[in-house]
A = this chain, B = another copy of it.
Amino acid sequence: MKRTVTFLPDNASVTVDDNTNLFRAVKASGLYVLSSCGGKGNCGKCKVIIKEGVVESGKSRSFLSPEETARGYALACLSRVKSDLVVEIPPESRMQAKHKIATGANMEELIKLMQSAGGCLESRISRIYLELSPPTIDDNIADYERVRRALDKAGFDASLLHMNFLVLKKLSHVLREGNWNVTVSVFKVSAVLEVLDIFPGNATRTRYGAAVDIGTTTVVVYLVDMANGHIIGTASMYNSQVKCGDDVITRIVYATERNGLKELQDLVVGNINTMLAELAEKNKVPQAMIDYIVVAGNTTMMHLLYGIDPQYIREEPYIPTATFFPLIRGKSVGLQVDPQAIIYSMPNVASYVGGDISSGVLVSQIHKQDKVSLFIDIGTNGEIVLGNKDWLVTAACSAGPAFEGSGIKFGMRAMEGAIEEVEINSKTYEVNFRVIGDSKPIGICGSGMIDILAEMYLSGVIDQKGKIREEIGSKRIRRGESGLEFVIAWRVESAINKEIVITEVDLDNLIRAKAAIYAGFATLLAHMDMGFGDIETLSIAGGFGRYIDVERAITIGMLPDLPVDKFQFLGNTSIMGAYYGLLCDQLRHEAEEIAKKMTYIELSVSRSFMDEYMSALFLPHTNLNAFPTVKKELEKRKKVV
C-alpha cells in the first residue's frame, strides 16, 4: 500500500510504501533532517512533529521530553509510516549549516539559497522584445541593420553586432512572420553584442536553460525556466562512460590508448540529450528553446565532453588542455538544443580539481567566511578545499571509487538491494543489516561499507590494520578465493543465492580510500601550518556525502574527530553551483574568481601527503589519540586492539 507523506514547512510530498521508515521517507523527499547516527535511533537528532496521520514508533531512548511527546514529536528514524502523513520538520532538526540544504526536489529553496549567496536572476543571455518599423522605399535599410537600429534604440550598444549565419538565414522570414515584432536573444562579450537567436512576436517568457553536473559516475540535469529561475524538472542517470572505466584514469586511458575519445564524448552527450528530451517532453518545453547550458564536472569530464584529448592530465606534470574552457555552441558537441545555445563550463582549477569544486565552494560560501573551513566533495574522486575569504588551497586525494562499489567484491551503488546499514555484535559477531527497499540484499553500498569497516573494527573482527582476526573463532570468518573474508549475509538471507562477504582485499581498498581522504585534509592543513582544531566547519558535498554517517566515518578515520555540529552536508553542490551560474552571471563570475584564487597542491608528488597517508592506513589512525571519541567507544566495547 502506498502512503503520501507531506513535509512542512517545505510542503514537499513523497509517496512511499506503507511501513516505510520515516527517516528514509525524509531522504526520499530530497529534504534533510539532522542525524549524526544516520538514522539508527542513537543520537535523538531527527525530531519531527506528526501533524496529521499515524506512525508506529519504536522506543525512543528517552530522547523526547514528555512535553515534546504531548506535542506530537517523534524521532523520524524510529517511526514507521502507517497512513498518509503531514509531518513538520522543526527548526531544531533542520540543517544548522550557514547555508541551507537544497536539492532539485526542493526548488524554491534553491533560488532562495542562490539569492542568499548574493545572486539574482540576471543571466548571461537576455531576451529583448523589439517592435520594428516595417521597411518602406524611403526606409529601406537591410533587415540586419533594422534589428541593429532597434537594439540601439532600446539602449543596447549594437555598434559591434554579430549574428551567426544560421540566425541570419532565417532573419528575413522571422521578421515578416512576426509582422516586424520580434524577440531576440542577445549575449554580450566585451563590446560585441551577439544575437543568438530570433523569434517572431514576444518570446521573452519562453527561455530555458539547463544546469548539468557531469560526475564520473552520475550525470544530473536541471531544466530551468530562465524567466523566473524555477526548476521545471530534474533528472539523473549513471554516466554511460562507466562501461569504459570506473574512474577518470581508466577513462583517460580508454580515450587515449584505445582511441575512445569520440565514444566517451558521445556517451555523455547522449546521457544529457536523453535527460533533456525526457524533461522537455514531460514539461512541454521545446528543446530548441534551451539556449544556455552550464556544466560542472571534474576536469577530465570536461575534456571528454568537449572531445579534447585528456592524455596529459594523466602524465606528470599533469597538465590539462584547459581549466577555463572557452564557450562553445550546443551543436558543436551534439547537444539537442538551440544550435546557437551557449555551453559554459564552470571553471576548473587543475587536472584533478574541476568545475564541480569551484561550484562547491561557491555554494558552500567558505570563500566569504572569516574563519577557516574545510570543504570536501566525496564522489568518485575526493577533492578538498581549505580556506576562508582571504585564501583557498585545494587538492585531489585520489580516493578512488571504492565507496561507490568499485574494487569491492560485493560493492554496488546506493540502490534497491544494497546493504546500507550494518551492526555487528561485539560478543557474538552476529550481523544485523538494513537493505535499501527492505528486500533481500544483492550487495553493499558505500554507507554499508563504512558501517562494516567501523563495526568490524569496533567489534574486534578486524585489527587496526584491517586484517581479519581469525583467532576470534567466528563462523562468519572463512577463507575465500582472495584470502580471508567475513560473511555479512548468509546465502538464505541474500537475493543472489550466495553469501555476501567482505574480503581482506575489500577492506584494504576501503582503508586506502579513507586514508587518502584523511591524508588530504591533513596535508592541506599542514601546508597552511594549521591543525583540525582550526576548522570552523567541515562541509561535505557530493552524492555519496549525502549518505555518510559522520560518526561512523570518524570511527574509521575517514573524517577527523571533530564535534558533530561542525559538519554540514551540502548535497550535490556541483549541480547547485551550475544552477547558480546559469541564472546569475555575477555568481558565474564569482566562481571564476574562486577558481583563480585557489592554489592547487599536487598531492601525488607531495612527501608530506605520503607520510600522512601511511599514518592513515590504520583504523582509525596510527595516532588513536587524535580520535578521542573512537577511543572512548572502543573502551566502551572493551575491545581496544
Instruction: Give chain A's interface residues, CB within 8 Å of chain B.
Output: 135-137, 140-145, 160-165, 168-169, 171-173, 176, 189-192, 306-309, 311-312, 316-328, 332-333, 348, 350-351, 600, 602, 605
Determine whether the beta carbon of B190 is less than 8 Å from that of A135.
no
Determine whether the beta carbon of B311 is less than 8 Å from that of A145.
no
Known: A168-B308, A190-B191. 9 other contacts (CB 8 A): A140-B319, A140-B351, A145-B322, A160-B189, A164-B328, A168-B322, A168-B325, A168-B326, A172-B321
Enumerate chain B residues within 8 angstroms of A309, measured Cβ to Cβ.
169, 172-173
Determine whether the beta carbon of B137 is less than 8 Å from that of A605.
yes
Determine whether the beta carbon of B317 is less than 8 Å from that of A162.
no
Q: How far is the CB of A343 from chain B (nearest CB, A)?
A: 9
C-alpha gap A136/B318 in the complex (Å): 9
Determine whether the beta carbon of B141 is less than 8 Å from that of A323.
yes
Determine whether the beta carbon of B319 is less than 8 Å from that of A165.
no
C-alpha gap A600/B139 in the complex (Å): 10
Enumerate chain B residues within 8 angstroms of A605, measured Cβ to Cβ.
137
The chain B residue sitting closest to A329, CB to CB, is: B165
Enumerate chain B residues within 8 angstroms of A176, measured Cβ to Cβ.
312
C-alpha gap A332/B169 in the complex (Å): 12
Q: How far is the CB of A340 from chain B (nearest CB, A)?
A: 13
The chain B residue sitting closest to A323, CB to CB, is: B142
Q: How far is the CB of A266 from chain B (nearest CB, A)?
A: 15
C-alpha gap A590/B618 in the complex (Å): 75
22 A–B contacts from the bound complex (CB under 8 Å): A137-B316, A142-B321, A142-B322, A142-B324, A142-B348, A143-B321, A143-B322, A144-B325, A145-B322, A160-B189, A160-B190, A162-B327, A164-B328, A165-B333, A168-B326, A169-B308, A171-B321, A172-B309, A189-B192, A190-B191, A190-B192, A191-B191
Enumerate chain B residues within 8 angstroms of A328, measured Cβ to Cβ.
164-165
C-alpha gap A321/B333 in the complex (Å): 29
C-alpha gap A191/B160 in the complex (Å): 11
Enumerate chain B residues within 8 angstroms of A169, measured Cβ to Cβ.
306-309
Enumerate chain B residues within 8 angstroms of A307, measured Cβ to Cβ.
165, 169
Enumerate chain B residues within 8 angstroms of A308, measured Cβ to Cβ.
165, 168-169, 171-172
Enumerate chain B residues within 8 angstroms of A321, measured Cβ to Cβ.
142-144, 168, 171-172
C-alpha gap A46/B333 in the complex (Å): 63
C-alpha gap A322/B169 in the complex (Å): 10
Q: How far is the CB of A530 from chain B (nearest CB, A)?
A: 22
Q: How far is the CB of A163 from chain B (nearest CB, A)?
A: 5
Enumerate chain B residues within 8 angstroms of A140, measured Cβ to Cβ.
317-319, 350-351, 600, 602
C-alpha gap A144/B312 in the complex (Å): 13
The chain B residue sitting closest to A138, CB to CB, is: B317
Enumerate chain B residues within 8 angstroms of A190, measured Cβ to Cβ.
160, 189-192
7 tightest A-B CB contacts, nearest first = A190-B191, A144-B322, A142-B323, A190-B190, A137-B317, A142-B320, A172-B321
Determine whether the beta carbon of B189 is less than 8 Å from that of A311.
no
Determine whether the beta carbon of B135 is less than 8 Å from that of A317.
yes
Determine whether the beta carbon of B602 is less than 8 Å from that of A324.
no
The chain B residue sitting closest to A191, CB to CB, is: B190
Q: How far is the CB of A345 from chain B (nearest CB, A)?
A: 11
Enumerate chain B residues within 8 angstroms of A311, measured Cβ to Cβ.
172
C-alpha gap A306/B319 in the complex (Å): 40
C-alpha gap A600/B317 in the complex (Å): 62
C-alpha gap A351/B140 in the complex (Å): 9
Assuming the contacts A140-B318, A172-B312, A311-B172, asked whether A165 and B323 have C-beta atoms less than 8 A apart, the reply is no
Enumerate chain B residues within 8 angstroms of A135, measured Cβ to Cβ.
317, 319
Enumerate chain B residues within 8 angstroms of A332, measured Cβ to Cβ.
165
Q: How far is the CB of A23 from chain B (nearest CB, A)?
A: 44
Determine whether the beta carbon of B317 is less than 8 Å from that of A165.
no
Determine whether the beta carbon of A144 is less than 8 Å from that of B323.
yes
C-alpha gap A501/B602 in the complex (Å): 88
Enumerate chain B residues within 8 angstroms of A191, measured Cβ to Cβ.
190-191
C-alpha gap A308/B168 in the complex (Å): 7
C-alpha gap A316/B137 in the complex (Å): 7
Assuming the contacts A163-B326, A191-B190, A602-B140, asked whether A319 and B350 have C-beta atoms less than 8 A apart, the reply is no
The chain B residue sitting closest to A193, CB to CB, is: B190
Enumerate chain B residues within 8 angstroms of A162, measured Cβ to Cβ.
189, 326-327
Enumerate chain B residues within 8 angstroms of A325, measured Cβ to Cβ.
144, 168
Most buried by B among A143, A306, A322: A322
Enumerate chain B residues within 8 angstroms of A143, measured Cβ to Cβ.
312, 319-322
Enumerate chain B residues within 8 angstroms of A192, measured Cβ to Cβ.
189-190, 192
Q: How far is the CB of A249 from chain B (nearest CB, A)?
A: 17
C-alpha gap A311/B175 in the complex (Å): 13
Q: How far is the CB of A235 from chain B (nearest CB, A)?
A: 26
C-alpha gap A133/B511 in the complex (Å): 40
Enumerate chain B residues within 8 angstroms of A318, measured Cβ to Cβ.
137, 140
Q: How far is the CB of A181 from chain B (nearest CB, A)?
A: 17
The chain B residue sitting closest to A147, CB to CB, is: B322
The chain B residue sitting closest to A145, CB to CB, is: B323
Determine whether the beta carbon of B172 is less than 8 Å from that of A142.
no
Q: How far is the CB of A158 from chain B (nearest CB, A)?
A: 11
The chain B residue sitting closest to A600, CB to CB, is: B140
Determine whether the beta carbon of B136 is less than 8 Å from that of A317.
yes
Partner of A306, one of B136, B161, B168, B173: B168
Determine whether the beta carbon of B168 is less than 8 Å from that of A602.
no
The chain B residue sitting closest to A159, CB to CB, is: B190
C-alpha gap A333/B323 in the complex (Å): 31
Enumerate chain B residues within 8 angstroms of A322, measured Cβ to Cβ.
142-145, 168, 171
C-alpha gap A176/B317 in the complex (Å): 13
The chain B residue sitting closest to A190, CB to CB, is: B191
C-alpha gap A307/B168 in the complex (Å): 9
